[in-house]
Chain A
Amino acid sequence: MEPILDIQKISKKYKIRGFEPHYLMLRDVLSKKNRKRSKNKEEFWALKDITFKVFSGESLGIIGKNGAGKSTLLKILSKITPPTKGRIISRGRVASLLEVGTGFHPELTGRENIFLNGSILGLKKNEIKEKFDEIVDFAGVEKFIDMPLKHYSSGMQLRLAFAVAAHLEPEILIIDEVLAVGDAEFQKKSLGKMKDVTKEGRTVLFVSHNLQAVNTLCKRSVLLEKGEIKLDGPSNEVIRAYNNEIIGAIHEWTGVNGDEHAALLKTKVYSDANVFYTNRDIYIEMEYEVYENITNLVVGFHIINEFGCHILYVLRDDYDTKIESITLKGKYKERFKIPANHLAKGTYTIAFDLGIHNVKKIASDESNLQFYVMNEDSYGCRFPVIDAPGYSGIFRPNWKI
Chain B
Amino acid sequence: MFYVIEPTKKIKINLRELWQYRELFYFFTWRDIKVKYKQAVLGVLWAILQPLIGMLIFTFFGKVLKIPSDGIPYPVFAYSGLMLWTMFASSISNAGNSMVNNAHIIKKIYFPRLIIPTSAIFVATFDFMMAFVVYICLLLYFNVDFSVAKLLAFTFISVIIIVVTSFGLGSFFSALNVKYRDVKYIIPFFVQSLMFLTPVIYPTSVLKYDWAKYLIAINPISGAIDLSRNVLLSKSLNIELLAVSCISAIILFFVGLLYFKRTEEFFADIA
Contacts and interface: CB of A to CB of B under 8 A. Distances in A.
Contacts of B179: 23-24
Interface of B is mostly: mixed
Interface string A235-269: 00000000000000000000000000000000000
A96 interface: yes
A102 B106 CA distance: 9
Interface string A163-202: 0000000010000000000000000000000000000000
A306 B178 CA distance: 45
A99 B23 contact: no
A294 interface: no
Contacts of A112: 31, 34
Contacts of A27: 182
A90 interface: yes
Contacts of B2: 89-91
Most chain A CB within 10 A, of B105, B109, B110, B269, is at: B109
B7 interface: yes
B18 to A, nearest CB: 14
Contact of B1 (A82, A86, A92, A122): A92
A19 to B, nearest CB: 15
Interface stretch (A72-80, A139-147, A344-352, A359-367): A72-80
Contacts of A103: 104-105, 109
A96 B109 contact: yes
A324 to B, nearest CB: 71
Given A99-B108, A108-B35, A87 B268 contact: no
A116 B29 CA distance: 11
Contacts of B210: none
A76 B180 contact: no
Contacts of A26: 180, 182
Interface string B102-131: 001111111100000000000000000000
B29 to A, nearest CB: 11
Interface in A53-106: 75-93, 96, 98-99, 102-103, 105
Nearest to B111: A120
A25 B1 contact: no
Nearest to A125: B23
- Give the size range of A's interface with the partner: 35 or more
B111 A90 contact: no
Interface string A284-328: 000000000000000000000000000000000000000000000
Interface string B70-90: 000000000000000000000
A125 B8 CA distance: 31
Given A22-B270, A75-B268, A120-B111, A82 B5 contact: yes
Given A14-B269, A87-B6, A91-B1, A96 B110 contact: yes
Nearest to A2: B2
Contacts of B8: 82
Contacts of A90: 1-5
B190 interface: no
Contacts of B38: 107-108
Contacts of A78: 109-110
A76 B35 CA distance: 32
Contact of B7 (A24, A77, A83): A83
A369 to B, nearest CB: 42
B146 interface: no
A119 interface: yes
B265 interface: yes
Interface in B1-53: 1-8, 23-24, 27, 30-31, 34-35, 38-39
Interface of A: 14, 22-27, 29, 75-93, 96, 98-99, 102-103, 105, 107-108, 112, 115-116, 119-122, 124-125, 171
17 contacts: A14-B269, A22-B269, A23-B271, A24-B179, A29-B180, A75-B268, A79-B5, A80-B110, A81-B268, A87-B6, A90-B1, A90-B4, A103-B109, A107-B35, A107-B38, A107-B39, A125-B23
